[in-house]
Chains A and B, each alone.
Chain A
Amino acid sequence: MNSFKKQRTKFIVLMLMPATILLVGLTLFPFIVSLILSFTDYSLLRPGQTKFIFLDNYIELMTTDEFWIALRVTVVFTVLAVLLQVIIGVFIANLLHQETHNISFLRTIYLLPLAITPIAATFTFRLMFNPSLGVFNYFMKSLGFPPQAWLASPSTALFSLIVVDTWQWTPFILLICLGGLASLPNEPFEAAKVDGASNWQIFTKITIPMLYPFIGLALLFRSIDAFKTFDIIYVLTSGGPGILTRTLNLYAFKHGIEFLSMGYAGSIAIIMLIITIVVAQIFLRKNNLLKPKDTFKR
């Protein structure tokens, strides 16, 4: 028996080994390196002259206006983009769940943006946003509205980025919600119909509460991802006009890759990580998403 247990343990350890090595190599090791770097003034421009400066990078960050502006932009972008994606995603998922004809075809169509390489989609959007030659202004003019400087105007740049992010990632919410809807029991819906509830009442009083664990997880995953969005912003606005669309990730990129101040960039990355962990934990605990639910018990 002991021998069997030992063999079993050995087998489990062996099976876990590749994933553990990958996890340590690709996640834990870079994290530790970033953490150490954030306490130094390491710069690729001064090889061999790195000094340990403890919390100086963090103090510098906290006293820099640009950091707080970038944080505000990041939060606004994340909240608005994810909120819009959740609203649209849940709404379309609910419609698709009720649709019986052409469901596979429609699902495929709605999920297409997820299958497109983000950078390719972003470059296509760049052309579409072009004020002189882009399709958006063509439609604006056709409808009698004045053309817009979508990516260059302080009033529309962030909104334009949110539109692109929403186009790309709403299908992710849709996918999770469709799966969630398919797993919900039919009885509460049938009972509501028998009791004469309207579609809107069913949607708000039954569907949403029962779907909440799925929406919560989708919201969490998307928020974490949106918080570190880089490609869309870098390609479309580079953080402009001025620094009105410069997020924390772009701010870290500027310092790390353009100014080669790896220590300072590391401290921004660590702060982003801390914010993500804290917000995610609060969200999970407040919504009891970490505990097993009895939602589906009949």
Chain B
Amino acid sequence: MKKNKLSHLPPIKKLNLTRRHFVKATSALVGAGMLSSYGLPLYAAQNVEEMMAMYKSANMDWESQKGSKIVLSGLEHPWMQSIEPLLPHFTKLTGIDVQVQKQSESEYVAEVPVKLGAGNPTPDVYMVWSYGQAADAGWLESLDQHFDNPNLFDKNWYDLNDIFSSARSFPIWNDGESYVMSITAEAQTMFANQNMLDAIGANVPMTFDELLETGKKLKNDDHAGVAMRSKADGSAGTWPCGGFVFSNGGVVMDNGVCVLDSAEAIEAVQYYGQILNEAGPLGVGNYHWYECLNDYMQEVVAIGMDSSNFATDIENPEKSNAAGHTTYGAMVSGPGKQAKPNMWHWMAGINSKSQNKAAAFLFLTWANSKPTCLMSSALGLATTRTSAWESDGFKSAFGTQAATAALTNLQNADGKIMKDCWFHPQGGEILTPWGIAINEVVTGTKTADKAMKDATQKINKALGV
């Protein structure tokens, strides 16, 4: 049976909470200093009426869709894990029943597009893995009309300004409409085992060259220096290697044309491959994020550079040997270049064929509201709200230093160059050849120059440019 985080929470009495504390925490959003990381969700679970009062202070009709049933589809992801235990609150608040369909990432990405492409009315709400593909194919309902509906949305109560600017701009599609809401925030962040760094007297690397040198020094019979994704797949190496390309002055797409054959991009991929070749673990060419995280937590790798969301697992002593002695740092950069880490907001949207669009919109509003984000962030979820990131609950679950590093990296990221590639309607046809090219460089099948030029040619042919 799957463990429910809420079942491991400390007894409520020990938290010494009062209604005043909770209201203060959720309204001021920075005043939750007395709460433990699990305090808010637990308090909410046991004090439903007070929770309801928080939501009902919004000037909108939560019960306008009472009796509806919606299907929420998502993948095994921290967002689903933290939202699922809170769903009874939503049902009590709105009278809307939520049925959850959860799958592994590979199953989800394979099945849901086929369902949506076939015009299936379910799921009603779903996690969007490829915004460009979904928006371009007409699988998403525009949310703008719902934002303007006073029965379904209270702009003041929702407080858009509390949401990161990148998370606000992410959902705006080429036509100016918003089809999704950003639900998480993550940036490419370095995590380094401080004990291992201390053992060789090294500092956290800041540049590609420093990372290569430090990684090589760290590598020994017991552990590798650096692990990053490089499996031959569009969803593996492309994201972290994207940060390398951006931090070396390169981009993936320029005016709709793939430019991965630029000198900057080739040099970045060359560095990426060399670092993994010379400082990476054996077999790193078959590593996806799972292997990178697992090796780091088992202390068989000293440095990783991936999603800031890894911090929740890294700092969990039940899972990780590296808990408590990991230093989180900025993205490394190319010679004389400015670091531009990759970033990502997971998004959720409404199926354009859904029969329950209003109910689905109420769900999205609830899931992204301040009280819900404060609760889910106390479980370690990196939401899109400043208030949640600043809460002590989040800092305690995520780690203060990890949160600071993630925020810094988010600020340094350039969402536009990232969106040009990852939001492209033919994103899969860009990312897959590129992912394979990265793998070819890491496994020594091709040189960076040949791999990137071949991939670029293939991508541009697929895009018809």
Query: How near does chain A come to B436, taking the closest CB pair, in angstroms?
Result: 6
Binds A, one of B243-251, B369-377, B424-432: B424-432
Q: List A contacts of B106 (CB < 8 A).
A: 234
CB-based contact A258/B234 at 8 Å: yes
Out of A44, A131, A137, A148, which one reaches B117, CB within 8 Å? A44
CB-based contact B426/A242 at 8 Å: no
A113 within 8 A of B: no
Compute how far the CA of A149 lies from the CA of B444 in the bound complex, rounded to whole angstroms: 13
Q: List B contacts of A208 (CB < 8 A).
A: none
Q: List B contacts of A240 (CB < 8 A).
A: 231-233, 285-286, 436, 439, 443
CB-based contact B281/A239 at 8 Å: no
CB-based contact A147/B282 at 8 Å: yes
A257 within 8 A of B: yes
Q: List A contacts of B116 (CB < 8 A).
A: 44
A298 within 8 A of B: no
Out of A131, A153, A246, A257, which one reaches B110, CB within 8 Å? A257
Out of B119, B232, B425, which one reaches A241, CB within 8 Å? B232
Compute how far the CA of A152 lies from the CA of B432 in the bound complex, rounded to whole angstroms: 17
CB-based contact A149/B432 at 8 Å: no
B418-460 vs A, Cβ < 8 Å mask (1 yes, 0 no): 0000000110110010001001100111100000000000000
CB-based contact A150/B136 at 8 Å: no
Complex: chain B residue closest to A261, CB-CB: B429
- Total contacting residues, chain B, CB less than 8 A: 42
Compute how far the CA of A147 lies from the CA of B428 in the bound complex, rounded to whole angstroms: 34
B302 within 8 A of A: no
Q: List B contacts of A258 (CB < 8 A).
A: 109-110, 234, 428, 432
B270-298 vs A, Cβ < 8 Å mask (1 yes, 0 no): 00000000000111111100010001001
Q: List B contacts of A150 (CB < 8 A).
A: 283
CB-based contact B284/A152 at 8 Å: yes
Q: List A contacts of B368 (CB < 8 A).
A: none
Query: How near does chain B come to A196, taking the closest CB pair, in angstroms?
Result: 53
Q: List A contacts of B284 (CB < 8 A).
A: 149, 152
Compute how far the CA of A240 lies from the CA of B133 in the bound complex, rounded to whole angstroms: 25
Compute how far the CA of A165 lies from the CA of B282 in the bound complex, rounded to whole angstroms: 23
Q: A132-B300, A240-B231 are in contact. Are A152 and B283 (CB under 8 A)?
A: yes
A144 within 8 A of B: no
Complex: chain A residue closest to B425, CB-CB: A45
B114 within 8 A of A: yes
Out of A47, A131, A147, A246, which one reaches B137, CB within 8 Å? A47
B113 within 8 A of A: yes
CB-based contact B117/A242 at 8 Å: no
A130 within 8 A of B: yes
CB-based contact B440/A242 at 8 Å: yes
CB-based contact A260/B117 at 8 Å: yes
Out of A147, A236, A241, which one reaches B285, CB within 8 Å? A241
A211 within 8 A of B: no
CB-based contact A133/B286 at 8 Å: no
CB-based contact B426/A259 at 8 Å: yes
Query: How near does chain B come to A251, taking the closest CB pair, in angstroms?
Result: 11
Among B286, B295, B428: residue with most chain A CB under 10 A: B286
CB-based contact B137/A46 at 8 Å: yes
B109-123 vs A, Cβ < 8 Å mask (1 yes, 0 no): 110011011110000
B31 within 8 A of A: no
Known: A137-B282, A241-B285, A258-B432. 17 other contacts (CB 8 A): A44-B116, A44-B137, A149-B284, A149-B285, A152-B282, A153-B285, A154-B443, A154-B445, A234-B106, A237-B286, A239-B436, A240-B232, A240-B233, A240-B436, A241-B445, A242-B440, A258-B110
The 6 closest A-B pairs by CB, nearest first: A240-B232, A44-B117, A152-B285, A131-B283, A149-B283, A241-B443
Q: Which residues of B contact A (CB under 8 A)?
A: 106, 109-110, 113-114, 116-119, 133, 136-138, 224, 231-234, 236, 281-287, 291, 295, 298, 300, 425-426, 428-429, 432, 436, 439-440, 443-446
Pairs A–B under 8 Å by Cβ, sample size 18: A44-B116, A44-B118, A45-B117, A45-B136, A47-B117, A132-B300, A147-B282, A148-B283, A152-B285, A152-B287, A153-B285, A238-B231, A238-B233, A238-B236, A240-B286, A241-B445, A254-B432, A258-B432
Q: Which residues of A contact B (CB under 8 A)?
A: 44-47, 129-133, 137, 147-154, 234, 236-244, 246, 254, 257-260
